[in-house]
Chain A
Amino acid sequence: MSAHRVLVTGASGFLGRAVATALVAAGHDVRTLQRRPSGVEGVQDVLGTVTDPATVASALDGRDAVVHLAAKVSLAGDPADFERVNVGGTATLLDAARAAGVERFVQVSSPSVAHLGTAIVGADADPADPVHARGDYARTKAAAELLALRADSDRMRVVAVRPHLVWGPGDTQLVERVVERARAGRLPVLGHGAALVDSTYVDNAASAIVAALAAVDRVHGNAYVVTNGEPRPVGELIAGICRASGVRPPAWSVPAGLARAAGGVVEAVWRVRPGADEPPMTRFLAEQLSTAHWFDQRRTRADLRWEPAVTIDEGLARLAPPRA
């Protein structure tokens, strides 16, 4: 594999940090762009945001590849913010990358860009749908993915990678939320908890993105969902995370339909209410936790020539707090 001079955006995030670390380990020359220091050893940090063309241009100087993770990831917030960061930021980055002569571009996306609220059962990556995707995050990520894939050309090869439900030690999204709510006794199981969901241990998501960079000359123009390929009932996954983190798994359940309705109300309230905290439930989250979404990984694994190295059980074991 040839070494690239890579710009990683959003490397202070949970997945971004893992990707930057994996790229360094694979022998690439890595520069990062985000608002806070990445904390990744062996990279050159550029501090700033992807929405600022000048910062982006200078960060891209001398780079031949981009892995774009920077995004506003949240369950609620001002729709304009999602638009500005996720769509505007991607557009700015794509323009600047083309201008800087970047040859390879990995757009890190999300399976939610094609999730229309119904169950996903063994599907491959459907086209991103910015009109019908659920919630501001998914809609803006869908638009961003379409922009990126539209920018694909022989000069700048673009591939989109959609890791699904990434978790692992140090994860502030899924694991921390689950554990904190369970600890506070505020975590119900939605419905019977049997809906089958895919998830991705963080190291696997990172290695898939590294593999996508290596494969982009072959597979550009495509989108790939990445998961562990081990779907589990959502109740079992959440209970597993709780147990691994030393917290009692949730024992009470809320009917899925009720949670969806409540999510809709909460979403509306959070939209008009000031503050940066997270809503306890959104319709998107309720759907995510009560309907199946798992994927056919055959094309992903064959095209990217990649296999997940860490199983869910191994990943859960790594979550366990170090014993004193």
Chain B
Amino acid sequence: MNRALPGAARHVAAAYLPPALPGLDPAWSRLVEADDAAGVTRTWHVLDTGPALAAAGVAPRGTVVCVHGNPTWSYLWRRLLDAATDRALAGGPAWRVVAVDQLDMGFSDRTGAPRGLAERISDLDAVLGALALDGPAVTLGHDWGGVVSLGWAVEHADRLAAVATLNTAVHPGPSEGRDHVPAPLRLALAPGVLGAGTVTTGAFLETTLALAHPPLAPEVKDAFRAPYRTATERGGIGAFVADIPVPATHQSRDVLERVADGLRALEVPALALWGPRDPVFSDRYLDDLGERLPHLDVHRFEGAGHLVAEDVDYASAVLDWLEVVLEPAADAAPEAGDADAVQPLWHHLDARRDDADVALVEMAPPGGAGPRSVSWRLLTRRVDEIARGLVDLGVRPGDRVSLLVPPGADLTAVLYACLRVGAVVVVADAGLGLRGLTRAVRGARPAFVIGARPGLAAARALGWPGVRVSTTDLPGPLARTLGVRASLADLAERGALLADRADALAHVPAADDVAAVLFTSGSTGPAKGVVYTHRQIAAVRDALAAQYGVGPGASLVAGFAPFALLGPALGTRSVTPDMDVTAPRTLTARALAAAVGAADATVVFLSPAAIANVVATSDALDPADHRALAGVETFLSAGAPVSPALLARVESLMPGALAHTPYGMTESLLVTDVTGPEIRAAAADPARGPGVCVGRPVRSALVRISALDATGAAVGEPSDAPGTTGEVLVAAPHVKDHYDRLWLTEHASRRGRTPTSPRWHRTGDVGHLDAQGHLWIEGRLAHVVVTATGVVTPVGPEQALEASDAVARAAVVGVGPRGAQQLVAVLEPVDPPRRPALADDVLATDARSRTPVPLAAVLVVPDLPTDVRHNSKVDRARLATWADAVLAGGRMVAP
């Protein structure tokens, strides 16, 4: 069928070789003849690294077969041909790469005849036959080429080593509707649009080329246009679009369904490299692929789009992945802990279901009025009811539930209910900002969203996925506007009615089932989803209990979200102070004292921003407040480093407490711990190295250093040798299971693991261990500066600069190419300038005299950029980019 295509689509022309184009080695180009399905001899243009490998005497272990989509051509795969050749010639694993221009596309024959999906799959088989592939095949497709390549793969499973795809869609959609065909393509198929949009004009081509992030260089755009300069050359673009099987009666629909179903039988390793900013092949098609291929490895490149092959380094990703999945020893994952039974996270709730003692205190519950106390009995019942209600709503084990609920009793109840029914809770901090939150929720693809009104409004406005549940009862019209299916009260009510039905909660999640996806703060790049199993979260609980003695009988005030939720799991009474927990700096000293007093709290958890405000407002404390605070035994500051001076001031407010500052990250919430006295002793040690002392590993954690080489890469074997600077590695039962749909990130974070090694997580922090076993953090691996004379970690020189009375904060960054970088100090003086500038002579000279490393330039700024959440981690990456521009002669704008 050839609906409404202009005559140009019936033009016949012979294949030819492309002209010289950027990034394209002419030696790759071949014209290959084979008979198509109808027995007609056709000529294909193919890029092929086979001859070059043969000439170099390299025997490939297999062939990567690349199939472009519409309206691109094999030029899309040039970087893979290049990278694979480089690796093969350098002695690495050798893969031949073959990239075919489909008939009527690129520089292959213009056949003048329409080609359906079935023909395209057999065309591919014909040309691959003529090419005589080396070894087993790995298919790699993009766009509709993904379907063609997977179609060939399911028909030739015996010749297959692996399948990989960039953005594509194999779901044919329900036969009665068009819903599953991407909306922009439905438009392209509209009568009158198809021919004009695809053939007569280059609009479809130009629109596709404009989808790159960042935009394509003009010469690259020209290269993509090269085979499609005239309407006659573009006939295949229109025919390809016309073959999108929208109506159920379409000729290619059966074939598409066969391919989609066939995927379920594929057992070879599978990879999807995905650009989520794709208006056509959105995340739902990725979900569909994952559902068909449960073992699918996924990496979503946040910020990349449809032309993911142009946006990111997909070539190294594919080659790295092949190395790992085809040689399992390279990335073996040691067992995630022993197989022992785990005390479930809700075991205190079960044990205390008749206990009238107070479990939760909310100092300022939503809806106003004074403190609200919730007993263990009530909490257990509430968790139970919501759990049954969730099951009744359709929540199934493994379903993801996004919690956009402010910390407090509601969040606690719904969290434990989700865990109990085996749902996976998705927890993203409002500190990510709306954009970060949207990315996080979209990326985590929850089936359900439970939220307060602002969260639901955002979910509605920004099109977040999932069935919506509100925390409070909403008026009907509003509930409908927000697309809310039910409220928590509805769920609980429904659950109460089902209370006598034993089967509702018959399913108990296993220890190694996934329990939660927590999002990183985003202060070190786009927020990443971190996946924990029940066993691993239970291990977090146990590590906290062991380290700080929090358990039944204790009472904790938590002004820091992740720990606030663990009270019921610890069997501890938890108190939420009167503050906006998502904005820690809103906690006052009086509010803290009131919370402590209300529950005779012995343990206080705060973030640095909260501590700063507590200290700043401590003048308002009255004698009763002071008495309450004097009863605190353990005080923890978590989330970011806090200055020794600030720590000392908050210690003076809680004279009976020992201050601790644990070091950890979303991927391993507890790595080391250090007390106030230890911090002061370390600071006073004349033999101290550079960095911030974060103390000794907690009991269940193992910390090692992977030394940096001269290029700043952390290549050393995990070692506890004192004084060696390198990346910090941690292994513990409470380390995360994996990153969510970030295969490359996960692969990088477990580099160095072997089947017999501990379950290492590479933290991305750099530091060293001292002779006493203390860990010192010297910065982020990504912020290490590589000069001509060696590697410099930033924190040491920054501390030297901050020792000046004139300097409030300092950042040290590198400018120029890695290996020849120059160091630049960016200072926030105590007396800040009105705008960024070069430091004056006196300040620059003083700064240079303080650092042991040479500084090329000293700049002053009114404000150093910091992370949103803690306002304490200096954004060195952003500063480096800024300094690079300014010191190259660019405008002196604010960093």
Residues of A within 8 A of B (CB): 119, 121-123, 191-196, 229-233, 235-236, 239, 243, 256, 290-292, 294, 296-298, 301
Q: A121-B884, A191-B892, A292-B889 are in contact. List 14 more A-B contacts (CB 8 A).
A: A119-B889, A122-B817, A193-B838, A194-B886, A194-B892, A195-B887, A231-B822, A233-B856, A239-B841, A243-B841, A294-B816, A294-B856, A297-B820, A298-B788
When distances are taken between beta carbons in the complex, the residues of chain A under 8 Å from B841 are: 236, 239, 243
Contact A298 B819 (CB under 8 A): yes
CA distance A296 to B838 in the complex (A): 23
Given that A291-B889, A296-B788 are contacting pairs, would A236 and B822 also be in contact in the complex, using a CB cutoff of 8 Å?
Answer: no
User: Is B582 an interface position by the 8 A CB rule?
Assistant: no
Residues of chain B within 8 A (CB-CB) of A290 are 889
A118 shortest CB reach to chain B, Å: 9
In the complex, the answer to whether A236 meets B820 with C-beta atoms within 8 Å is no
The yes or no answer to B821 lying at the interface (CB within 8 A) is yes
Given A194-B859, A231-B856, A232-B856, A122 contacting B889 (CB threshold 8 A): no
Instruction: List the B side residues contacting A298 at CB < 8 Å.
Output: 788, 819-820
How many residue pairs between the two chains, A and B, have CB atoms under 8 Å in the bound complex? 78
| Bound form: Cα–Cα A239–B845 in Å | 13
Task: Give me 6 A-to-B residue pairs in the complex whose CB atoms sit less than 8 angstroms apart, sorted by A's number.
Answer: A192-B886, A194-B837, A196-B857, A232-B856, A233-B887, A292-B887
Supposing A193-B838, A196-B822 touch, asked if A232 and B857 sit within 8 A by C-beta, the answer is: yes
Shortest C-beta distance, A135 to chain B (Å), equals 18
Determine if A297 and B788 form an interchain contact, defined as CB atoms under 8 angstroms apart. Answer: yes
For B859, the closest partner residue in chain A by CB is: A194
Q: Are B886 and A122 in contact (CB under 8 A)?
A: no
Q: Is B83 at the interface (CB under 8 A from chain A)?
A: no
Is residue B844 contacting chain A, with contact meaning CB distance below 8 A?
yes
- From residue B836, how far is it (CB to closest CB) to chain A in Å? 8
Any chain A CB within 8 A of the CB of B815? yes
A209 to chain B, nearest CB (A): 21
Supposing A121-B816, A229-B788, A232-B856 touch, asked if A191 and B821 sit within 8 A by C-beta, the answer is: no
Residues of A within 8 A of B815 (CB): 121-122, 196
Smallest CB gap from A195: residue in B: B889
Residues on B with beta carbons closer than 8 Å to the beta carbon of A243: 841
Contact B884 A296 (CB under 8 A): no
Instruction: Pick the residue among B788, B819, B888 that contacts A195 (CB under 8 A).
Output: B888
In the complex the two chains form, what is the Cα distance from A19 to B889 in whole Å? 33
The contact of B889 among A123, A191, A229, by CB within 8 Å, is A191
Residues of B close to A239: CB separation below 8 A: 841
Complex CA gap A231/B819 in Å reads 15
Q: For the complex, is B552 an interface residue (Cβ under 8 Å from A)? A: no
**CB-based closest 6 A-B pairs:** A122-B816, A296-B820, A291-B889, A195-B889, A119-B888, A292-B888
Tell me the dominant secondary structure on chain B's binding face.
mixed
B129 within 8 A of A: no
Whether the Cβ atoms of B819 and A196 lie closer than 8 Å is: no
With a CB–CB cut-off of 8 A, which chain A residues contact B854? 230
CA separation between A192 and B838, bound complex, in Å? Answer: 8
Q: Are A196 and B887 in contact (CB under 8 A)?
A: yes
Distance (whole angstroms) from the CB of A312 to the closest CB of chain B: 10
Kindly report which residue of chain A lies nearest to residue B837, judged by CB atoms.
A192
Cα distance A4–B820 in the bound complex, in angstroms: 34
Complex Cα distance, B816 from A7, in Å, reads: 38
For residue A224, give the distance in angstroms from its CB to the closest CB of chain B: 14
B850 to chain A, nearest CB (A): 15
User: Are the CB atoms of A230 and B892 closer together than 8 Å?
Assistant: no
Find chain A residues with CB under 8 A from B819 CB.
296, 298
Min CB distance B791 to A, Å, is: 14
Question: In the complex, what residues of A have CB within 8 A of residue B817's CB?
Answer: 121-123, 296
Q: Are B892 and A122 in contact (CB under 8 A)?
A: no
Hey, which chain B residues are within 8 Å of A195, CB to CB? 887-889
Q: For B848, give the chain A residue with the smallest CB separation.
A: A313
| Chain B, Cβ-Cβ closest to A190 | B889
CA distance A231 to B854 in the complex (A): 10
Nearest Cβ on chain B to A198's Cβ, whole angstroms: 10
> What is the bound-complex CA distance between A195 and B884, given in angstroms?
10
CB-CB nearest in chain A for B892: A192
Residues in A neighbouring B838, C-beta threshold 8 A: 192-194, 233, 235-236
Q: What CA separation (Å) do A195 and B887 show in the bound complex?
A: 4
Give the residues in chain A near B844, CB-CB below 8 Å. Answer: 236
Contacting residues, chain A, for B886 (C-beta < 8 A): 192, 194
Per-position 1/0 for B484-511, Cβ under 8 A of A:
0000000000000000000000000000
B857 engages A236 (CB within 8 Å): yes
**Residue of chain B at shortest CB distance from A298:** B788
B652 CB to closest chain A CB (Å) equals 43
B859 neighbours in A (Cβ, 8 Å): 194
**Binary per-residue interface labels of chain B (871-889) against chain A in the complex, 1 for a CB within 8 Å, 0 otherwise:** 0000000000000101111
Residues of A within 8 A of B821 (CB): 122
Within the complex, the shortest CB–CB distance from A156 to chain B, in Å, comes to 32
Task: Name the CB-closest residue of A to B857.
Answer: A233
CB distance from A274 to the nearest CB of B (A): 34
Contacts A230-B854, A231-B856 given; does A196 touch B820 at CB 8 Å: no
Q: B813: shortest Cβ distance to chain A, in Å? A: 13
* Nearest chain A residue, comparing its CB with the CB of B817: A122
Query: Given the complex, which residues of A lie within 8 Å of B888, measured CB to CB?
Result: 119, 121, 195-196, 291-292
Residues of A close to B816: CB separation below 8 A: 121-122, 294, 296
Q: How far is the CA of A192 from the CA of B860 in the complex (A)?
A: 13
Residue of B nearest to A243 (CB): B841
B84–chain A nearest beta-carbon distance, Å = 28
A243-B841, A296-B788 known; A256 vs B889 contact (CB < 8 Å): yes
Q: Is the CB of A294 within 8 A of B857?
A: no
Contact status A194-B887, CB under 8 Å: yes
State A291–B817 Cα separation when bound (angstroms). Answer: 17
Least CB distance from A252 to B in Å reads 14
Residues of chain B within 8 A (CB-CB) of A232 are 856-857
